[in-house]
Amino acid sequence: MGPYWYAAMLEYERYSADTCAMKIPTASNNLSNHFLISMPHLRGSSFEQTLTYICEHSEQGAMGLVVNRPLDLSFAQILDHLDIHIDPVHDAQRTIYAGGPVEVERGFILHSPVVDNWSSSYAINEQLHLTTSLDILHAIAEGRGPEQYLITLGYAGWGAGQLEEEILANSWLSCPADLAILFATESQLRLGAAASSLGVNLDLLSSQSGRA
């Protein structure tokens, strides 16, 4: 299989309406800064056993990043493919994640706030920013990047009303995002940890689904 990430270009393009450059609604069911926990009947889909962090959600749709699907790709390899030459590379073996099935050649860095102003960055809230410009990669490689960060290629997107319909169809559970799960929990444990915060045992749900 040819590695699609050879063409990865981590450059910013502020979300247009169809990729969720949206105003945050005041509705109580807004899922910005929430986790989406995939349910067992999504088996076989691109979201099987995924945990997704929702960056934006409005009447126009939603945009998020899958945060528990690591790629066989390191930070050092990303820099090499982008012809960014820094030696030595700080955090060279940091894992890169498959953020979703949309625009898989684009990179997104979800991170804690820093004093530096990146050329293309968006404040999700006081605790998390989303940056897509190359300057943050240079900073991370030189050891002056954010304290906490996660890099993905691609994102997950939903059109107007689509996510709400999927939740009503029991495709997803949702819970408030937890930074400890996002940054301090091993990737293979994140989905279960998010479900456990709701008192849900996904293994039990999977076994019940299998008997249905």
pLDDT for 29 equals: 81
Q: How far is CA 156 from CA 79, 102, 147, 204, in A?
A: 23, 6, 25, 27
Name the residue with tokens 């969720």: 20
Q: What are phi and psi of 14, to 5 degrees?
A: -55, 135
How far apart CA 147 and CA 55 sit, in angstroms, is 19
pLDDT for 198 equals: 94
160 Cβ partners below 8 Å, 6+ apart? 59, 60, 61
**Is residue 74 in some structural domain?**
yes
**Is residue 25 in some structural domain?**
no
**Is residue 20 in some structural domain?**
no
- Maximum Cα–Cα distance across the chain: 55
How far apart CA 123 and CA 55 sit, in angstroms, is 10
pTM: 0.83
Q: In which domain, by residue range, is 56 found? A: 32-211
Structure tokens at 169: 């169809």
**Is residue 1 in some structural domain?**
no
**Is residue 103 in some structural domain?**
yes
pLDDT for 28 equals: 52
Nearest to 170 by CA among 132, 197, 133, 208: 208
Amino acid letter for position 110: L
Q: How far is CA 132 from CA 12, 99, 118, 210, in A?
A: 5, 13, 9, 40
How far apart CA 14 and CA 36 sit, in angstroms, is 23
User: pLDDT by residue for the chain (212 residues), tens digit each?
Assistant: 333 332 333 333 333 333 333 333 334 589 999 999 999 888 888 899 999 999 999 999 999 999 999 999 999 999 999 999 999 999 999 999 999 999 998 899 999 998 878 888 989 999 999 999 999 999 999 999 999 999 999 999 999 999 999 999 999 999 999 999 999 999 999 999 999 999 999 888 764 544 44
Could you report the per-residue pLDDT of 124-167, keeping only the tens digit for each?
Answer: 999 999 999 999 999 999 999 999 999 999 999 999 999 999 99
Name the residue with tokens 């990737």: 187
Q: What are phi and psi of 115, to 5 degrees?
A: -70, -35
- Tell me the three state secondary structure of residue 36: strand
pLDDT for 44 equals: 80
**Is residue 97 in some structural domain?**
yes
**Is residue 10 in some structural domain?**
no
**Is residue 59 in some structural domain?**
yes
- For the chain, the domain total comes to 1
CATH classification of the domain holding 145: 3.40.1740.10
